[in-house]
């Protein structure tokens, strides 16, 4: 029996914040798998629905639903339903679905021994758009993944690896997960340690940048510390050789050539689109292309490793005078296979450096006075990163290669930013465009 009224689904989906397909006409919606969870005081179904559009690729979504006179009711609006879902994970229960099974997983780690009150307080967060997050007892946070993808979920995989195979603890540790096997196999939910009273790195940095004058020495030391944490993360991700998904691999000339060709390919259309808004940018095409070309001619050294993949100030937390790195899902515009690819860790470094530039541009747009902020911040972060990674096998062997690769990956990130801003915030496209104009001549 289908657990939802299919005739009402298209209209229901279009009113959900987490539904990404609001702009496209829906051709059909079908239930591809479902499981009934009946324990405690709340019985409900987890339904995986496939949405087929008139144009574009189908998408799958997770709907925790209850029977209702109106046809569809979100079960996650009830605290007892949320507790029941969490207990399946905590107790590592297996529940059959129509085409496979739902499996709860709880990691056997020191963090997993967390004591929770009974009855368990529930607080649903309202800030997230693409997922649903719930805090239990102010100690753990459950993220229910709404838009599902087939394959190994990078956040699940990376979190389990860091928790069970490394000593890296500068992250809200993964505690458990809920997975669905069968025709609609996917990771449905993740449980992490909850970090109360944390400030995300973006807000924290903006607060410092908004103050007039030079950045204070203690803040620059915190930027060095952030660089050290990223370096320690890369050491952890490169520390295991017996797991094919994480074992470091030699960086080859063909890797450099492939990355260079990819940047060059993106550059043509991106600069053409940007030139309609900023005429000057197309005049810089040859100079910018040279940065990408030089990447192909770097003498191969260092390694490809698993990386964060979407690193910026919004992906770090400041809590109790420490930096924590989180959200290992990878870049949202890439599929799971692409997000799990091994890459140069220089790509993460470039992402964080670009984030500093956005912080500076943001405070300038707010009307703040210019000041010596961006360069000292970049320098401090790089000093911390290079201090902790000196001699690391995963980095280029010489200075010239380090800087050539870093500039190329910053260029790659800039092109991504231009495309994103043109599509979503045209008024902001000048931020990455001006950074492209400022890029130094290749040396």
Q: What is the pLDDT of residues 18-45, one digit of tens each?
A: 998 988 999 999 999 999 988 777 889 9
Identify the pLDDT of residue 188.
97
First to last CA, the chain: 67
Strand blocks (E) in 137-269: 140-145, 147-148, 174-181, 186-193, 199-200, 249-250
pLDDT band at 282 (very low <50, low <70, confident <90, very high): confident
- pLDDT per residue as tens digits for the range 129-148: 789 999 999 999 999 999 99
With tokens 């709907």, the residue in question is: 63
> Does the structure show a pLDDT above 80 at 111?
yes
Q: Is the pLDDT of residue 1 over 60?
A: no
Tokens of 365: 């747009």
Amino acid 245: pLDDT = 97
> Nearest Cα to 193, choosing from 172, 178, 177, 176?
172
Q: How confident is the model at residue 187 (pLDDT cuts 50, 70, 90)?
A: very high
pLDDT band at 2 (very low <50, low <70, confident <90, very high): low
Q: Residue 283's pLDDT is what?
A: 84
Q: Where are the domains of the chain?
A: 6-193, 199-438
pLDDT tens-digit series, residues 380-429 = 999 999 999 999 999 999 999 999 999 999 999 999 999 999 988 888 99
What average pLDDT does the segment 4-19 reach? 86
Q: How far apart, in Å, are the Cα atoms of 346 and each of 60, 89, 394, 405?
A: 33, 36, 9, 7
The burial class, CB within 10 Å (0-12 / 13-18 / 19+), for 54 is exposed
Q: pLDDT-derived band of residue 183, with 50, 70 and 90 as boundaries?
A: confident
* pLDDT one-digit tens code per residue, 212-235: 778 999 999 999 999 999 999 999
In angstroms, rounded to a whole number, what is the distance separating the alpha carbons of residues 122 and 104?
A: 19
Confidence of residue 128 (pLDDT cuts 50, 70, 90): low
Q: Of 309, 307, 308, 304, give the one whose Cα is nearest residue 249.
A: 304
> What value does the mean pLDDT of the chain take?
93
Fold entry, domain 199-438: Aminoglycoside 3'-phosphotransferase; Chain: A, domain 2 (3.90.1200)
Query: Which pairs from 124-127 meet CB under 8 Å and 24+ separation?
Result: 124/76, 124/82
pLDDT tens digits, 228-273: 999 999 999 999 999 999 999 999 999 999 999 999 999 988 999 9
The model's pTM is 0.94
At residue 335 the predicted structure's pLDDT band, cuts being 50, 70 and 90, is: confident
| pLDDT > 80? residue 441 | no
Predicted confidence at residue 303, as pLDDT, reads 98
Average pLDDT estimate for 347-375: 93
List of E strands, 14-96: 26-39, 42-53, 59-66, 73-74, 94-96
Cα–Cα distance measured from residue 349 to residue 381, given in angstroms and rounded to the nearest whole number: 9
Q: Residue 443: its pLDDT value, please?
A: 63
Looking at residue 9, its pLDDT comes to: 87
């Amino acid at each position: 029996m289908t657990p939802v009224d299919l005739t009402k689904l298209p209209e229901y989906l279009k009113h959900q914040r987490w539904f990404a397909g609001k702009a496209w006409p829906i051709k059909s919606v079908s239930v591809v798998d479902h499981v009934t969870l009946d324990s405690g005081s709340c019985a409900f179904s987890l339904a995986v629905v496939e949405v087929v559009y008139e144009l574009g690729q189908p998408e799958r979504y997770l709907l925790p639903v209850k029977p209702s006179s109106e046809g569809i009711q979100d079960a996650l609006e009830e605290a007892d339903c949320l507790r029941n879902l969490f207990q399946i994970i905590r107790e590592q229960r297996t529940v059959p679905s129509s085409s496979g099974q739902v499996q709860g997983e709880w990691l056997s780690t020191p963090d997993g021994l967390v004591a929770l009150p009974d009855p368990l307080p529930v607080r649903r967060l309202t800030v997230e758009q693409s997922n649903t997050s719930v805090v239990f007892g102010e100690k753990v946070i459950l993220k229910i993944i709404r838009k599902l993808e087939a394959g190994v979920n990078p956040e699940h995989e990376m979190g389990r690896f860091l928790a069970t195979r490394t000593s890296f603890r500068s992250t809200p540790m993964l505690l458990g997960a809920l997975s669905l096997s069968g025709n609609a196999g996917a990771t449905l939910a993740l449980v992490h340690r909850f970090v109360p009273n944390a400030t995300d790195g973006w807000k924290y940095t903006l607060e410092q940048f908004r103050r007039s004058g030079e950045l204070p020495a203690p803040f620059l030391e915190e930027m060095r510390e952030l660089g050290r944490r990223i370096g320690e993360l890369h050491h952890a991700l490169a520390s295991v050789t017996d797991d094919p998904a994480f074992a470091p691999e030699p960086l080859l000339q063909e890797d450099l050539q492939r990355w260079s060709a990819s940047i060059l390919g993106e550059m043509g259309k991106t600069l053409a689109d940007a030139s309609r808004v900023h005429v000057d940018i197309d005049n810089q095409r040859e100079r910018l292309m040279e940065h990408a070309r030089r990447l192909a001619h770097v003498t191969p050294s260092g390694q490809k490793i698993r990386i964060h993949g979407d690193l910026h100030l919004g992906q770090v937390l400041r809590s109790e005078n420490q930096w924590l790195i989180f959200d290992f899902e990878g870049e949202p515009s890439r599929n799971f296979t692409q997000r799990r690819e091994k890459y140069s860790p220089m790509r993460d470094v470039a992402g964080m450096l670009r984030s500093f530039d956005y912080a500076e541009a943001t405070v300038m747009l707010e009307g703040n006075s210019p000041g010596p902020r961006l360069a000292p911040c970049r320098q401090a972060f790089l000093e911390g990163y290079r201090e902790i990674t000196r001699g690391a096998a995963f980095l280029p062997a010489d200075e010239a290669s380090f800087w050539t690769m870093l500039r190329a990956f910053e260029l790659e990130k800039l092109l991504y930013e231009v495309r994103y801003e043109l599509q979503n915030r045209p008024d902001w496209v000048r931020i990455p465009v001006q950074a492209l104009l400022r890029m130094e001549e290749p040396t």
